[in-house]
Amino acid sequence: MKIDFHSPDNLFTATLKARCTEKFARPIERYKLDGELTRVDVVAVEQHESIGLRVRFRHPGMRIHVSAIEGELLNACDQAIAKLDRKLKGLIDKKSDNKRRATAAWPEPQPLGESDLFTEDEEEVLRDMGALDTVLAL
């Protein structure tokens, strides 16, 4: 996993980068998405008396964008991390629900007996025609 911090005003100090890296890694590791292809880009910009933070999370098959505006950079990071965590949880839950629905939609195949070849109506029509024994013999 790679986390990049960008700021045109050099808002990220080494200590702040270390703390934010640790905090951003928690939800990503919790959902086991910390691989070589996982990237997090964090961009901080001063906006009047606040700091705006934009986070772009990229993982194969997933792209998440969150943003936060707070008075202090660390608070903005905390808010963005909480949003990222909620979005990751939602995506993971959605994928697991889809898997459950896909497996639940297909019932277990039952072995066919002679009586299971036709519906009751079809069997009755074939019996009336005198063709049921001929069809079953095929």
Between 43 and 138, the higher pLDDT residue = 43
pLDDT band at 51 (very low <50, low <70, confident <90, very high): very high
Q: How far apart are CA 78 and CA 76, in angstroms?
A: 5
Note the pLDDT of residue 71.
93
Domain ranges (residues) in the chain = 2-93
> For 30-43, what is each residue's pLDDT tens digit?
988 888 899 999 99
* CA proximity to 67, closest of 42, 88, 48, 92: 42
Please give the CATH topology (third level) of the domain spanning 2-93: Double Stranded RNA Binding Domain (3.30.160)
How far are the Cα atoms of 2, 22, 74, 96 from residue 16, in angstroms, in the given order? 16, 10, 7, 35
Residue 126's pLDDT is what? Answer: 79
Whole-number Cα distances in Å, 20 to 24, 42, 60, 104, 121: 6, 10, 23, 41, 69
Q: How far apart are CA 62 and CA 53, in angstroms?
A: 20
* Element holding 126 (H helix, E strand): helix 120-129
Q: Has residue 113 got a pLDDT over 60?
A: no
Per-residue pLDDT tens for 70-101? 999 999 999 999 999 999 999 888 888 777 77
Residue 42 forms beta bridges with which residues? 5, 55
Asked whether the predicted pLDDT for residue 58 surpasses 60, the reply is yes
